[in-house]
Amino acid sequence: MIYAVGLLSIVFLALAIMVIVRVQKILKGVNGEESDDYAVNVNANAIACLVFLILGTIGAVWSFMSSRAYFLPEAASKHGKVTDELFWFSMGLLTIACVIVNVLIFYFAWKYRYVKGKQATFYPDNIKLEVIWTVIPMIVMAALVFTGYRAWTDIMSDAPQDAQVIEIMGKQFGWQVRYPGVSDNKLGAFNFKLINDTEGNVFGIDLSDEASFDDFTNSSEMHVQVGKPVLLKIRARDVLHSVFIPHMRVKMDAVPGMPTKFWFIPEKTTDQARADLGKPNFDYEIACTEVCGQGHFGMRLRLIVEDEYSFKKWMAEQKPFLTEHPELISKVPDNLKAKAAKYIPAVEAPADSTVAQVQTVGIGTASIK
């Protein structure tokens, strides 16, 4: 609330500027100094320049201080810490430049305001000055390019061999996640022509590839292990999407027909983050940042960072895609059916009613066709 009041006060400050301008104008009118049409309200505008400079600086500092609390918390990934540091360093440098330049602009505007009969200084060029202010930005830019380049090449380098591979696929409107499974730790092949929403094959998983038998999928959350590199294999099946994990400083487009990737090392578990932030309901989230249609603003996926034990436990609990959709055994080539069989829940013991249901639905759809 205090925050809102403060913000509104900026509006009033702006209005105050207007009032000052008006008052000055009236005063000038009374004095009758500036009867000529050529230069009107000189002092009023000169003062407004100064007022803008002072109030603007106060407003900028104050608004920054009061907004800081709502910025994203410290990066929860290794590379994120680097880019954050680089960001705030650059920001600091640029703020200095911004302040200097704006002070000069408005100070000069005030200081050298029109005075009738005053002679301006004829000063058309100065090579030395030009060289100075070409070279200084050049050096600063070179420094920024160098640090940025190093960070960028590190981030974009190949993922470590031991990285946990996770596939994330964007669709209208939600994220789908696929894990390579616990048995072979290898993502099975996919083909967009095999995608069939009614049969449940949202990914287009190719069941003629035995690596896909133990793959499991999820459409609401992604689990990763703290401290272990994660390699996201990113794709989209309809239009462009973009994987954005704000707390991890991760972003990469999901492109139909062109798989992309991004790897990062999460450094803080969800539990730890909850404790640090004092928010028991805090969650890492994955959002979409490439406009993809009506539901673009709601493509949420929870990201859960946990310790090795919990992660392994969660992995072990997940049911492979094939187990979830046993009717798809028909898509498995005959020579691999034996291998696939162990992922098919035993028919004689349909303890899991959902599986049974899915089966019926599957059969039902098939018969309609």
* Contact set for another protein, span 174-233 (CB under 8 A): 192-193, 195, 197-198, 204
Q: Which of 30, 37, 162, 347 binds another protein (CB under 8 A)?
A: 37
Q: Is 115 or 338 the residue whose CB approaches another protein more closely? A: 115
Question: Residue 74, interface with another protein (CB under 8 A)?
Answer: no
| Nearest distance, CB of residue 290 and another protein, angstroms | 7
Residues 6+ apart with CB under 8 A from 39: 114, 116
| Nearest distance, CB of residue 238 and another protein, angstroms | 4
> Which of 265, 259, 206 minimizes the C-alpha distance to 233?
259
Rounded CA gap, 26 and 41, in Å? 9
| Nearest distance, CB of residue 106 and another protein, angstroms | 7
x/- contact string, 245-284, with another protein (CB under 8 A)? -xx-xxxxx-xxxx-x--------------------xxx-
Question: Residue 26, interface with another protein (CB under 8 A)?
Answer: no
Q: Give one DSSP letter per residue of 224-269, joined into a string.
A: EETTS-EEEEEEESSS-EEEEEGGGTEEEEEBBTB-EEEEE-B-S-
Question: Residue 239, interface with another protein (CB under 8 A)?
Answer: yes
Question: Residue 237, interface with another protein (CB under 8 A)?
Answer: yes
* DSSP-assigned beta bridge partners for residue 301: 286
Q: Which of 32, 70, 338, 346 binds another protein (CB under 8 A)?
A: 70
Phi, psi angles (nearest 5°) of residue 362: -60, -50
* DSSP-assigned beta bridge partners for residue 302: 221, 285
Question: Stretches 107-115, 212-220, 321-329, 333-341: which one binds another protein (CB under 8 A)?
Answer: 107-115
Question: Residue 112, interface with another protein (CB under 8 A)?
Answer: yes
What dihedral angle (degrees, nearest 10) is formed by the CA atoms of 266, 268, 273, 275? 160
Question: Residue 304, interface with another protein (CB under 8 A)?
Answer: no
Q: Is 126 or 161 the residue whose CB approaches another protein more closely? A: 126
Structure-block tokens of residue 235: 């794709």
Phi, psi angles (nearest 5°) of residue 345: -60, 140
